[in-house]
Structure 1
Amino acid sequence: MSINKDIKRITTETLRLMKFENRKIAMLTAYDFTIAQMVDKGGIDAILVGDSASNVMAGHETTLPITLDQMIYHAQSVVRGVERALVVVDLPFGSYQSDPQKALDSAVRIMKESGAHAIKLEGGSEVKKSISKIVNAGIPVMGHLGLTPQSIYQFGTYKVRAKEEEEAQKLIEDAKLLEKLGCFAIVLEKIPAKLAAKVTAAVSIPTIGIGAGSEVDGQILVVHDMLGMTHEFHPRFLRQYLSLHSQITGAVAKYVEDVKTLDFPSKKEQY
């Protein structure tokens, strides 16, 4: 049972304490006010305003097209719906990779304009200068290793990462580097469970897994996937807790029928 029902506001320090006390961290994505409200009231520890909004909200094939302005808009909407959870916002593709100063400027904009509590970015040693500059400015940073969707065209596939020894060793070293640079947590996406367990034991900051097994410090899923709204997406790591796609389309079909047959509105539903 989580301690967090008694905590008025989850912070980065709360997550560190949860790792220390071996209490699992529950995290979901959210992109709008209404979903954020429900997720927060459900007792979630942390919310990621993910660049996956590019997929589930805008219909793009990858996360690459979403802009910094669009991420700030989604983050503003989520923050207004949250009273308790820690809100983390993805830095979108192109806003941090090439220039540490640009990375800091992007992070500052998100923090100032959305009211979020932290940012997340993808990569290890390749982006160490950007991470260092952001952390040194006092902005909390969550790392992201393993399958990094912003690099999908470089990878060429969404298959499991770090199955080979060389890549696995680099991932462990990158995780240690992220901790040294001051990251408060790391997302581990789609890597072997045994490797995720090694990383979790090798660092003192929380690891949040998605397709990374059970021996991490917490789990994250895309809320649309978990609720069964993206009904054609069935990776091994996904557990669907509802089937909203069929329920919503069924409800819409019934509404259409009721309107066309004059069943709606009834006399009780009129003024």
Structure 2
Amino acid sequence: MPTKQVRLADLQAKKRDRTPWAMLTAYDYSTARAFSQAGIEVLLVGDSAANVVYGYPSTQQVSLEEMCFLAAGVVRGAGNSFVIADLPFGTYEASDEAAVSSATEMLRRSGAHAVKIEGGQRMAPRIAALKQAGLVVCAHVGFTPQSVNTLSGFRVQGRGDSGAQALLSDVSAVVEAGADLVVLEMVPADVARQVTERFPIPTVGIGAGPHCDAQVLVWHDMVAFPQDGHRPRFAKQWAQVGADLVGAASAFKREVAEGSFPAEEHSF
């Protein structure tokens, strides 16, 4: 577990020192505690909760109310880890005022340290407004799941000269607007390397190769939970939690049916 509260300045120092750091999604108190105990520097309350917690078919359906409840639980379990909370689709796009209102409600209700919003040049005014309000902001460029329909599905962004230039322009815009960090999702590794070397803010890769300052994964992808879920190409599995959980539940059911649980040692 981090021995002191992780702060933005610590993440910026790691970039200067070229010390990679880790981010994982978290959606509840117990998981946040486990990841903090493992030393994970940053926890992301991602809108991927729409899929893995609430069972919605897309991230566009989760609400601010639902995200606030999850983020509050994560903060209570996060220990000294830095916590970033996603602003969900529809809560910040309409105006600077809407963005500031949603972000301040999220931080007030949850205690998270920062918010994340998706989009490059088009979201630069929102980032500037959030910074003017005194908030820590993580930008998110490349593949942006909330815009999956506009992007015609799950496609790598930044390929080819024109694609790379568009992505670099997006990053330049969010940096100029004041973003403190930037997530690069499904971006060619060489482009992510250019971004990491060219811009002063920490870069967090997800499907963006090994050259980013940090790496993030949805924790369900990291441990194969559920066991039959889809795994993106960029996600490695370090455990088989889905299979273990099914096995444990099956064993519980069998022993209850057989009458072997609870045994004498489990009774008063």
Given residue 70 of structure 1, which amino acid in structure 2 is its aligned partner? E
Q: Which residue number in structure 2 is paired with residue 73 of structure 1?
A: 69
Whole-angstrom distance in 2 between the partners of 1:119 and 1:106: 10
Whole-angstrom distance in 2 between the partners of 1:15 and 1:138: 18
Q: Which residue number in structure 2 is paired with residue 190 of structure 1?
A: 186
Matched, 1:258 2:255: yes
Q: Which residue number in structure 2 is paired with residue 55 of structure 1?
A: 51
Whole-angstrom distance in 2 between the partners of 1:23 and 1:177: 25
Whole-angstrom distance in 2 between the partners of 1:36 and 1:107: 21
Query: Number of aligned pairs?
Result: 267
Given residue 254 of structure 1, which amino acid in structure 2 is its aligned partner? A
Cα pair 2:226 2:243 within 8 Å, conserved: no
What's the CA shift for 1:174?
1.5
Q: Which residue number in structure 2 is paired with residue 248 of structure 1?
A: 245
Q: Which residue number in structure 2 is paired with residue 86 of structure 1?
A: 82
Whole-angstrom distance in 1 between the partners of 2:192 and 2:94: 28
Mapping 1:202-213, distance limit 5 Å: 202-213=198-209
Mapping 1:208-227, distance limit 5 Å: 208-227=204-223
TM-score, structure 1 normalization? 0.96
Cα pair 1:29 1:223 within 8 Å, conserved: yes
Aligned with 1:142: secondary structure?
Answer: strand
Mapping 1:58-207, distance limit 5 Å: 58-207=54-203
Cα pair 1:176 1:202 within 8 Å, conserved: no
What's the CA shift for 1:167?
2.3
Q: List alignment gaps of at least 5 residues for structure 2.
A: none
Given residue 235 of structure 2, which amino acid in structure 1 is its aligned partner? L
CA root-mean-square deviation = 1.1
Cα pair 1:27 1:48 within 8 Å, conserved: yes
Residue identity over aligned pairs, in percent, reads: 36
Q: List alignment gaps of at least 5 residues for structure 1.
A: none
Aligned with 1:155: secondary structure?
Answer: coil
Q: Which residue number in structure 2 is paired with residue 269 of structure 1?
A: 266
Cα pair 2:125 2:177 within 8 Å, conserved: no
**Runs of 4+ in structure 1 over 3 Å off:** none
What does the per-residue CA deviation read over 1:70-106, in whole Å, with 9 as the maximum and x for residues that have no partner?
1100000100101111000000000111211000000
Matched, 1:25 2:12: no
Cα pair 1:145 1:187 within 8 Å, conserved: yes
Given residue 218 of structure 1, which amino acid in structure 2 is its aligned partner? A
Whole-angstrom distance in 2 between the partners of 1:187 and 1:138: 20
Aligned with 1:265: secondary structure?
Answer: coil
Whole-angstrom distance in 2 between the partners of 1:257 and 1:121: 46
Whole-angstrom distance in 2 between the partners of 1:151 and 1:178: 17
What's the CA shift for 1:159?
2.0
Whole-angstrom distance in 1 between the partners of 2:106 and 2:64: 8
